[in-house]
Amino acid sequence: MFFKKRDIDMSNGPLFGNMLVFALPIMAMNILQLLFNAADMIVVGRFAGREALAAVGATASLINLIVTLFMGLSVGTSVIIAQDYGADRHADVNRSVHTSIAVSIIGGLVVMAAGMVFSKPLLEMMGTPKDIISLSVLYMKIYFIGIPASMVYNFGAAILRAIGDSRRPMYYLFIAGIVNVILNLFFVIVLHMGVAGVAWATSISQYLSAALILICLYRSHGAIRFIPKQMRISRDKLLPMLKIGLPAGFQGMLFSVSNVMVQSAVNSFGSIMVAANSASMNVEGFVATTTNAYYNAAITFTGQNMGAKKYRRIDRIAIICTILIFATWIIMGGGTLVFGRPLLGMYTSDAKVIELGMGRLRIMMAAYFLCGVMNVFPGLTRAMGYSMLPMLSTLIGACLMRIAWLATVFTWYPTIAMLYACYPVTWALAGLGQVAIFLYARIQIRKRDTDNKPRGAVLNR
């Protein structure tokens, strides 16, 4: 197989170093994205007030609920292209590229329309405080104008990552993020646009990142080159993408449904608590987004080794992912607790908001290793072709149990600490389920490999 310098040979050579080389640009990209999102929150919190900070933060779980289903399809893109690329099926890779871009455009338009129509009634259903709901609706409607571009960028980034290129998506996001920050400052400080200014800055930067990634694919050579006039949906590529991507998307939606319910409970404590929760979630995001890089590495490395029929390397990928999750928890989780107050102080100078935000950070960081396991192991399993089982584990272990917690324990003891405690409890349940499902899938793959081998043949490495 021919590998360009920026691509990584995932089916040969050392795994730990290659996985880090692949994951670090994704990690940097995700952290950059969070820094730019944090800049949104900081600018609006510092220059537009506590209510504006709460208004933007109150929309996060609802936006995720509407967006995640189609974003999950990009997981299907990554897996299918990685498997075809690992097996040297370049014509299949090319058809998958054009199918993915077409799906991203259609999906983006559908999500944009849904966001425009349902943002206000859904925010009302969540019990968003009356003093911030009009600002939240305004933010969501402008934000969703940029969703088609966000979809195109994410699908394009999934295509590049599937062949081992995790650097260029990071570069494009960095450029778009710098533009986002500049526009934030201009719209909010100079033009005094408040929440609307932050939303417009985000939407404009999303279209810039989409344009950059499409130009990259258009100028690429070989299997991943995108030619607009050849864009069409190939049924034989769409169906396996849906088979893998839809359960991933539904899993994200299920998480979002439970998080919307948690956000509704947070809203019942008033706009000060909403502001504290929003700032704390943003700080936590830096730990979460690091483990998300391992999830992407797990999908791509496992997918390519599945395509190359090197199944035993998958076991080592799982061990490496677990080590990386644990190290991230110790270093970044511990750092978040140590520097929590000054980090929250960047978002607001309100002492009460900072103290409430620290309460959430202490509970969440104490068990974040479990969250990492729950999030990363489904990537391994999906890349082996088992996508429904991880979704069911999330449905039962995380979402249903989280809803049950809200209906029972939180109802009996309606404190904010008891509300946040539902996270580590459900992470532990879902994480154990995801590890068990991975082991089951690996046994099935090993059995299939043994059954397909002629007697006396050597098993795959």
Higher pLDDT, 45 or 271: 271
Higher pLDDT, 292 or 66: 292
267-280 average pLDDT score = 84
- The DSSP call for residue 12 is S
Given pLDDT bands bounded at 50, 70 and 90, which one contains residue 7? Answer: low
Residue (of 216, 214, 205, 233) closest to 73 by Cα position: 233
Convert 104-122 to b/e letters by CB count within 10 Å (16 or more is b): bbebbebbbebbeebbbeb
For residue 97, the model assigns a pLDDT of: 87
For residue 2, the model assigns a pLDDT of: 37
Tokens standing for 267? 């809203």
Tokens standing for 335? 């750092």
Tokens standing for 362? 């202490």
Given pLDDT bands bounded at 50, 70 and 90, which one contains residue 145? Answer: very high
For residue 191, the model assigns a pLDDT of: 86
Distances (CA, A) of 34 to 56, 221, 264, 289: 14, 31, 23, 8
Q: By three-state DSSP, how is residue 413 classified?
A: coil
Distances (CA, A) of 249 to 143, 252, 302: 20, 5, 19
For residue 3, the model assigns a pLDDT of: 40
Cα 351 to its chain centre, rounded Å, is: 31
Whether 37 has a pLDDT exceeding 70, the answer reads no
* Conformation bin of residue 49: beta by default, left when phi > 0, alpha when psi is -120 to 50: left
161-189 average pLDDT score = 84
Residue (of 157, 165, 145, 158) closest to 205 by Cα position: 145
211-221 average pLDDT score = 90
For residue 10, the model assigns a pLDDT of: 67
For residue 9, the model assigns a pLDDT of: 63
Whether 148 has a pLDDT exceeding 60, the answer reads yes
Residue (of 66, 161, 155) closest to 104 by Cα position: 155
Given pLDDT bands bounded at 50, 70 and 90, which one contains residue 4? Answer: very low
H/E/C letters for each residue in 22-69?
A: HHHHHHHHHHHHHHHHHHHHHHHHHHCCHHHHHHHHCCHHHHHHHHHH
Whether 84 has a pLDDT exceeding 60, the answer reads yes
Answer whether 0.75 is exceeded by the pTM.
no
The span from the CA of 143 to the CA of 114, in Å, is 12
Tokens standing for 59? 């929309």
In the block, tokens 């809200």 appear at: 406
The dihedral formed by the CA atoms of 349, 355, 361 and 363, expressed in degrees to the nearest 10: -170
What rounded mean pLDDT belongs to the chain?
Answer: 82
The span from the CA of 191 to the CA of 178, in Å, is 19
**Where would I find the H helices in 227-383?**
235-267, 271-307, 312-328, 334-338, 340-345, 351-365, 368-383
For residue 458, the model assigns a pLDDT of: 37
Given pLDDT bands bounded at 50, 70 and 90, which one contains residue 453? Answer: low
For residue 127, the model assigns a pLDDT of: 77
Given pLDDT bands bounded at 50, 70 and 90, which one contains residue 50? Answer: low
Share of the chain above pLDDT 90, in %: 20
Tens-digit pLDDT profile for residues 186-210:
988 888 888 888 889 989 999 999 9
Residue (of 185, 212, 210, 214) closest to 200 by Cα position: 185
